[in-house]
Structure 1
Amino acid sequence: MKFDKIHNKGQAQIFKNRYLEYFTKTHPLVIWGMYIPIIILLLLYASHTLAFSALKIVLLFLGGIFFWTFFEYMMHRFVFHWVSDNPRIQRIAYVMHGNHHEFPRDKQRLFMPPVPSLIISSLIFLLLYAVIQKNAIVFFPGFILGYLIYGSMHYAIHAWNPKYKWMKPIWRNHHLHH
């Protein structure tokens, strides 16, 4: 999907139905509040019920965080910016990510909203569980924490001016992406 640089401070309308539209928006604290209990519960389950060692938990958890980085790059590069002549694919790409490029200052669409986020993360968990079995119970919380950290940094870049001089190149490079 090709995006033009637009300095629009507005907000995209994804759906005509106001109830569906409401569910396309969120605040970062909602997502953090949704996932932190899941992360804690899965780690406690791995530690107490599955008796995973501390070393195994740390390594799998860190592996999940690092895997998030790879996953996000691949999704962003090959899915979110997918170029297609098919109007349906163009619409899906716009709903998933294109609206963010058209309205980069829309703070309510910098995190995936709760409902699609839970659906997608559940599918990712099931896929991870199919591949790495019980290890997914620790790997997945790391993956989700990677998402939360990335999403929070992304939110900060779009919502605020850089506080420190060393941050300015990071902000500038990201804004060039838009």
Structure 2
Amino acid sequence: MSQQTTFKIPKTNSLVAVSIYLALGLCALVYGILNIEVAFWAKLSLPFAGAIFFTFIEYVAHRYLYHSGEDYTNAENWQYTMHGVHHMHPNDKGLLAMPIFLALVLAAAFFGLFHLVMQDHAFFFWPGFLMGYAGYLYVHYSIHAHKPPNNIFGYLWKHHLLHHHIYDDKAFGVTSPLWDMVFGSMPPKKALHRKEG
């Protein structure tokens, strides 16, 4: 199995990406608050719903696109370019986020889909979704760039690093283990609660 790719995989600065998506999400939310007439409950709750929905999309894409079918570590398969290269080089900070242009195209497509389904409510749901993506990028970057904190967030480090180093068929959630619990892809409890020595 060859690990040589025929083209250079683009790298992205995760913190620049986080800043762009966070700013775009906040601007869209402020625009919605100032210009779109929807119920107060929608203005308050839909950004949170959008962020939670992002964690679902994160899980589904990670498990069913990046880890399905083809061998994602084989450089000849598309999964390698999108995700396998990150597994092969987990500490390369430039491989933690997709290229910004591609992410913005996908973000625009999601806005179009959300607007088709929920009309003006998309101006509140989509910013939450986008800020959920920014949160995902920040958590993912932090996990690969820093030591785990000695608090509840250290659990996310352990959960994701188990996916990288022991169970590549489990622990697909990065920002939350929620969907791993729902869909039965949690690593064994003993692995999650093992003390690091």
Q: CA deviation at 1:167?
A: 4.7
Counterpart secondary structure, 2:80: helix
* Residues matched between the structures, number: 160
**Is 1:47–1:53's contact at 8 Å kept on the other side of the alignment?**
no
Question: What is the CA deviation profile of residues 32-70 of structure 1, one whole-angstrom value per residue up to 9, with x for unaligned ones?
Answer: 232233222221221222133443211111110110111
**Is 2:21–2:133's contact at 8 Å kept on the other side of the alignment?**
no
TM-score by length of 1: 0.79
Work out which of the residue numbers 43, 47, 50 in structure 1 matches 2:29.
Answer: 43
Residue of structure 1 in register with 2:14 after alignment: 28
Sequence identity, in percent?
34
Equivalent positions of 1:9-28 (< 5 A) are 16=7, 21=9, 24-28=10-14
**Is 1:46–1:137's contact at 8 Å kept on the other side of the alignment?**
yes
TM-score by length of 2: 0.72
Are residues 113 and 60 of structure 1, via their aligned partners in 2, closer, same or farther at CA, if it must alter by over 3 Å?
same
Question: What is the CA deviation profile of residues 3-44 of structure 1, one whole-angstrom value per residue up to 9, with x for unaligned ones?
Answer: xxxxxxxxx876635xxx4xx212222112322332222212
Are residues 134 and 89 of structure 1, via their aligned partners in 2, closer, same or farther at CA, if it must alter by over 3 Å?
farther
Are residues 14 and 61 of structure 1, via their aligned partners in 2, closer, same or farther at CA, if it must alter by over 3 Å?
farther
- The structure with higher relative contact order (CA 8 Å, sep 6+) is 1
Structure with the higher helix share, 1 or 2: 1
**Is 1:84–1:90's contact at 8 Å kept on the other side of the alignment?**
no
| In 2, Cα distance between equivalents of 1:126 and 1:137 | 11
Contiguous gaps of at least 5 residues in structure 1: 1-11
| In 1, Cα distance between equivalents of 2:123 and 2:12 | 26
Residue of structure 2 in register with 1:6 after alignment: none
Counterpart secondary structure, 2:37: coil
Q: Give, as a single letter, the amino acid of the residue that structure 1 aligns with 2:41.
A: L
User: Which stretches of structure 1, 4 residues or longer, exceed 4 Å deviation after superposition?
Assistant: 12-15, 165-169
Q: CA deviation at 1:144?
A: 0.9
160-169 vs 124-133, which moves further: 160-169
Residue of structure 1 in register with 2:54 after alignment: 68
